[in-house]
Amino acid sequence: MKIALGADHGGFALKEIIKSHLEKKGFEILDKGTYSTESVDYPTYGKAVAKSILEKEADFGILICGTGIGISISANRFKGIRAALCSNTTMAKLTREHNDANILALGARMTGDILALEIVDEFLRTKFEGGRHSTRIEAIEL
């Protein structure tokens, strides 16, 4: 499975931790930046990861900024993207089961590293339930 990662300067350190964690688990990583803590604009990375999903370069995406809010809004501007900002594992599980989220957003200043890794693992191991949830996903796309 290929995961596209993107972060602004506020999420850079957590992106690197997640990248290492996922590589150790055998995931293929598509790192869309940023590559340092130098100040950058989060929409650039939200868009890059969203496009990676839509163009089928990656199966899922993970986006990180200081709060996770701005970068998730940037990604959600694209039809077919369902980026979910999650602050705990229950949210990660339910957004995959019920919303078929294809991008996980995290706030590096809001979520500790250990919890962030637990959220990532839960998001990636959980499958979409389909059924009644599929109708709701279709309604989002209208």
Burial (CB < 10 A; 0-12, 13-18, 19+), residue 142, is: exposed
Q: Give the integer Cα–Cα distance in Å for 74 and 89.
A: 23
> Domain coordinates of the chain in residue numbers?
2-140
Confidence of residue 112 (pLDDT cuts 50, 70, 90): very high
How many Å apart are CA 55 and CA 80, to the nearest integer? 11
When pLDDT is cut at 50, 70 and 90, the band that residue 132 belongs to is confident
pLDDT at residue number 129 = 87
- Place 80 in a pLDDT band, splitting at 50, 70 and 90: very high
C-alpha distances out from residue 63 to 19, 129, 132, Å:
11, 23, 28
Confidence of residue 141 (pLDDT cuts 50, 70, 90): confident
Among all chains, which residue has been given the structure tokens 């389909």? 130
| Residue 31 identity (one-letter amino acid) | D
Strand partners, 7: 64
CA gap 11, 71 in Å, rounded: 10
Mean pLDDT of 20-43: 98
The SS3 of residue 29 is: strand
What is the set of active-site residues? 65, 98
Query: Please, which residues bridge with residue 107 across strands?
Result: 65
Q: What is the pTM of this model?
A: 0.96
Domain 2-140 belongs to what topology? Ribose 5-phosphate Isomerase B; Chain: A, (3.40.1400)
* Position 37 confidence tier, pLDDT thresholds 50, 70, 90: very high
| 45 closest CA partner among 25, 21, 23, 70 | 70
